[in-house]
Amino acid sequence: MSETLEGNQVKLSFKAKNQGTPFETVGVFVPDQNEIMKSVAKQAVKTTIITRVARAIGNLFGGTGRLVSDVAVQASSVAMSSQPLTTKITPEKQQKVVVDAFAPFQTYYKFNTETNEWEYIQPGVQQ
């Protein structure tokens, strides 16, 4: 097996010694519920602060100022909402991503307890 970490994804390649072409797939690190809630709370606080400051400045300058502040608020909201959710990558999360990515391919492998190695099982061939 080989794995290459790229941002919130890991590229994986599964290959046993008796296998020709490896299976390749991508695993994705997904934030857990707590991380999502923290991110949403931070975004809400940022949006509230930006909105209040922009509106206060807009009110100082009257009609045109309010229009400019409305545009600034919308632009900041779009910018913050387009930021992808990220997660801290830990060894435990990385192991889970690898195991989850391997699951669709597990029927093509068996573990040989005598050699302590994974072996490839060709589809349609009795073992």
Predicted confidence (pLDDT) per residue in 22-68, tens digit: 999 988 887 776 766 776 667 766 766 766 666 666 666 666 656 66
Q: Answer whether residue 124 shows pLDDT above 90.
A: no
Q: How far apart, in whole angstroms, are the C-alpha atoms of residue 84 and residue 57? A: 30
User: Is residue 96 within 8 Å of 103, Cβ to Cβ?
Assistant: no
Q: Answer whether residue 112 shows pLDDT above 80.
A: yes
Per-residue pLDDT of 73-93, as tens digits, reads 666 555 555 555 667 788 888
User: Is residue 13 within 8 Å of 22, Cβ to Cβ?
Assistant: yes
How confident is the model at residue 122, as a pLDDT?
84
How confident is the model at residue 87, as a pLDDT?
75
What pTM does this model have?
Answer: 0.55
Sign of the Cα pseudo-torsion (90, 91, 95, 98, in order): positive
